[in-house]
A = this chain, B = another copy of it.
């Protein structure tokens, strides 16, 4: 059994390592979690002892198979709860994150499976992110960011990388939500910003940063 704190570390490390592929440094983790590097060193030692991380002094950590499974279990719970909040309790997509951060630590396998069933076995959450199965398997997708799209091609918004309230409210404002069709009209090479057309109606400029956080298919 992991404490909520340990769970938060595992989840952050999983995300920072791009789903467990890359090594992650102590400072990268301390930045993400707003803690001191010293605290991170202590915790990664503990998680390494529990075989959730491979740790070599001064070399950062890599998440193990066991660690990945733990992370995916948490992500599954997080995304199921987000789906519940939006679909059943009428939360908007920018209101769910903080509550789901709390709910994901509730420990009850029965609750998770019943929630999954109650929601009709959803495959993606309200931000378009895939929901891992009970076995930790994630469906493979060939998504790319809006920033990577070619000029004059059209795509559909399927997910967002940043789930912060600020970003989601901005998307609501410009009318870019999941399912929106976007065409890239022009790209400014200087800063990577784009002119786009949303749903054949409105034309707006978005920054490189914004384009990086919108996932298309």
Residue-by-residue, is A79-99 near B (CB-CB < 8 Å gives 1, otherwise 0)? Answer: 000000100111100010011
Q: Nearest-CB distance from A115 to chain B (Å)?
A: 7
Report if A108 contacts B (CB, 8 A).
Answer: yes
* CB neighbours of A117 from chain B (8 A): 89
- Within 8 Å of chain B (Cβ to Cβ): is A106? yes
A98 to B117 CA separation, bound complex (whole angstroms): 20
The reply to whether B95 and A102 contact each other, CB–CB distance below 8 Å, is no
* CA A103 to CA B105, docked complex, whole Å: 10
Residues of B within 8 A of A95 (CB): 110
Contact pattern, A 103-128, Cβ under 8 Å of B = 1, otherwise 0 = 10011101100110110000000000
Point out the residue from B85, B106, B110, B115 that lies within 8 Å of A102, measured CB to CB.
B106
Contacting A108 at CB < 8 Å: which of B90, B102, B106, B118? Answer: B102
Q: Are B102 and A107 in contact (CB under 8 A)?
A: yes
| A91 CA / B90 CA spacing, docked (Å) | 23
How far apart are A69's CB and chain B's nearest CB, in angstroms? Answer: 22
Write 14 A-B pairs (CB below 8 A) sorted by A numbering: A85-B111, A88-B118, A89-B111, A89-B117, A89-B118, A95-B110, A99-B106, A99-B108, A99-B111, A102-B106, A102-B107, A102-B108, A103-B106, A106-B106
Interface residues of A, Cβ cutoff 8 Å to B = 85, 88-91, 95, 98-99, 102-103, 106-108, 110-111, 114-115, 117-118
A sample of 15 more A-B contacts (CB under 8 A), given A89-B115, A106-B106, is A85-B111, A88-B118, A89-B114, A89-B117, A89-B118, A90-B114, A91-B110, A91-B114, A95-B110, A98-B108, A99-B110, A99-B111, A102-B107, A102-B108, A103-B106
